Amino acid sequence: MCNYFDFKTPIDIASAIIGGIIGLFLVLLFEWFTKPRILFWQHKFIAEDFNLGYKKKSGKLYKLKFKVWGFRSPGFCELHIYWCGNAVKAKWDDAPNPLIADNPAKFEPRLVPQTFLNTIMLKQYYTIPIINIDRGDGDNITIFDGWWFGKRLRLPYGPNPIVNKDTKIKLVLKGNDLSWSNELTVQQIIDNVE
């Protein structure tokens, strides 16, 4: 009878160690290969007219549009926006506005956290507003998040969202096994709209 676990020579021990290392490498390679990711050509910026009905001129809302690839969905995801020492969680397009009956004058702070998370599925496009240029107030540029609706009413919620075209913004998207970031200026977002 053959004994498979009888290591009598150093070659058998070395073969077992090399086999273990190769097995570990293959598992790590499989994990890396199946991990959800945003490919560099699968994200872009788009601009849409935006008006809540309280001004004659509509502003422009600049959004990140992306698609996630991989073999498993990242599930709940959130996008963090960092600028000038400030940070907010972005409001997803799929999330409702934190307003009562979508009335711009009825901001409800307790609804803002519901705008932070979105369930991401593979191979579908998602959009997240990043900045708003309000054409009615001398082209004010602001970071757009759930708190933006309260700031517009001059309520004391969240950091000051006003930025200029030279402000550097860092976008960080996080989810289950998904981590993506991009750092650019407001002007680069405006210039790279498709």
pLDDT per residue rounded down to tens, the chain (194 residues): 555 666 566 667 778 889 999 999 999 998 888 888 887 667 889 988 887 666 677 788 999 999 998 888 899 999 999 999 999 999 999 888 899 888 888 889 999 999 999 999 998 999 999 999 887 656 789 999 998 888 877 788 888 889 999 999 999 999 998 999 999 999 999 998 88
3-state secondary structure of 80: strand
CA separation (Å) from 68 to 92, 141, 149, 175?
15, 28, 29, 11
User: For domain 43-191, which CATH number applies: 2.60.40, 1.10.20, 1.10.3470, 1.20.120?
Assistant: 2.60.40
Q: Report d(CA 62, CA 193) in Å as an integer.
A: 8
Least Cα distance to 22 among 34, 30, 10 occurs for 30
Q: What is the pTM of this model?
A: 0.81
Domain boundaries, the chain: 7-35, 43-191
Judge contact between 59 and 135, C-beta under 8 A: yes
Task: Kindly report the number of other CB atoms within 10 A of residue 9's CB atom.
Answer: 9
